[in-house]
Amino acid sequence: MADDTFYMKQALAEAEKASARGEVPVGAVVVCQGRIIARAHNLTETLNDVTAHAEMQAITAAENALGAKYLNDCALYVTVEPCVMCAGAIAWAQLGKLVFGTEDEKRGYMRYAPAALHPKTEVVQGILKDECAGLMKEFFRRRR
Ligand SMILES: [Zn+2]
């Protein structure tokens, strides 16, 4: 639990970077055996790519770091509940654990594809939920 909070803070720092460059503030890190092997944030505006979600960036970076396509021994920390696309990617990569901060009632996978993840993937939600949700609320308030 203490570790989950620590790593979620790192994901939040990534989300703040996204916010600073005008991206929807979602950040992610991948942790493997106590070490952060990938840090990423949403880059859909910067890259003009709707698939450039924080989770997709983090998974690709982690796989490159390990030189492997499966991430069974890794945990993905992301500030907001993954969408269906990212949940699919998390399943393909066979992530051992998924930790997310706040749920996303509109686009989150739990509503549309609750069985999208691999059954062995451990899911923890609600870590630093208020901070994660707060960043999103503040971002969309400023954009209006
Ligand atoms: Zn996504």
Distance 117 CA to ligand 1 centre (A): 13
Which neighbouring-strand residues pair with 35? Answer: 32
Distance 4 CA to ligand 1 centre (A): 20
Cβ atoms of residues 29 and 77 within 8 Å: yes
Q: How many CB atoms lie within 10 A of CB 43?
A: 18
The first and second tokens of residue 29, run together, are: 């890190």
User: Has 55 been annotated as catalytic?
Assistant: yes
Which of 54, 92, 99 has the alpha carbon at shortest distance from 71?
92
Mean pLDDT for 47-61 is 98
pLDDT digits (tens, 9 = 90+) for 24-37: 999 999 999 999 99
Distance 3 CA to ligand 1 centre (A): 24
Confidence check: pLDDT of 129 > 90: yes
Instruction: Record the pTM.
Output: 0.96
Instruction: Identify the helix (H) or strand (E) that includes residue 86.
Output: helix 84-92
pLDDT digits (tens, 9 = 90+) for 61-101: 999 999 999 999 999 999 999 999 999 999 999 999 999 99
Using left for φ > 0, alpha for ψ between -120 and 50, and beta otherwise, residue 94 falls in left
- pLDDT recorded at residue 126: 97
